Amino acid sequence: MRVCIDTTVLIDILRDEFPDSQQLLYTALERHEVLISPVLVVAELMPQFSGDMPLLHSFLEDHQIITEPLDVQSVTIAGIRWMNYLKRKSKVICHECGAVIDRKEYVLADFYIGGFALNRCDAIITRDRGVYKKYYPDLKTYEQIAKSAQ
């Protein structure tokens, strides 16, 4: 089985936070291939390493995380879901000037990770399920897969 990992879980490991996320990753690494799309996750992880790319790559290698390129099919899935999000996002009124502005909850990178996970993997390990639950209801979480295997 192939499992995608969201950046939030990798940051949890670096900061030694959220032990449940860390345990899920370590369990997945023992049994399955764990993948990321480097275009997205590496860019999001760079600040954690102060831009030290050799150290970042060493971290990914040490954790046996496989990188695969972001492909057209994954981007297409992400683009369709992103358009759905843009249609549904709410408007808010600026308290200072009264202008109506879009309320942005998610960033495009979340949709790319979701598209990659849906297209290339069987499940995703993430702590940030809002975007995936709402816009990728067909994407299984690793917890769902692990529970059904018991």
Using one digit for the tens of pLDDT, what is the confidence trace for 29-72?
Answer: 999 999 998 777 788 899 999 999 999 999 999 999 999 999 99
Domain-embedded: residue 96: no
For the whole prediction, is pTM greater than 0.75?
A: yes
Domain count of the fold of the chain: 1
Domain-embedded: residue 91: no
Lowest mean pLDDT among 81-85, 87-91, 102-106, 132-136: 102-106
Domain-embedded: residue 98: no
Domain-embedded: residue 99: no
For the chain, what is the HEC assignment? CEEEECHHHHHHHHHCCCHHHHHHHHHHHHHCEEEECHHHHHHHHHHHHCCCHHHHHHHHHHCCEEECCCCHHHHHHHHHHHHHHHHHCCEEECCCCCCEEECCCCCHHHHHHHHHHHHHCCEEECCCHHHHHHHCCCCCEHHHHHHHHC
* Structural domain containing residue 15: 2-80+107-149
The yes-or-no verdict on residue 103 having pLDDT over 70 is no
Domain-embedded: residue 76: yes
Give me the CATH number covering residue 27. Answer: 3.40.50.1010
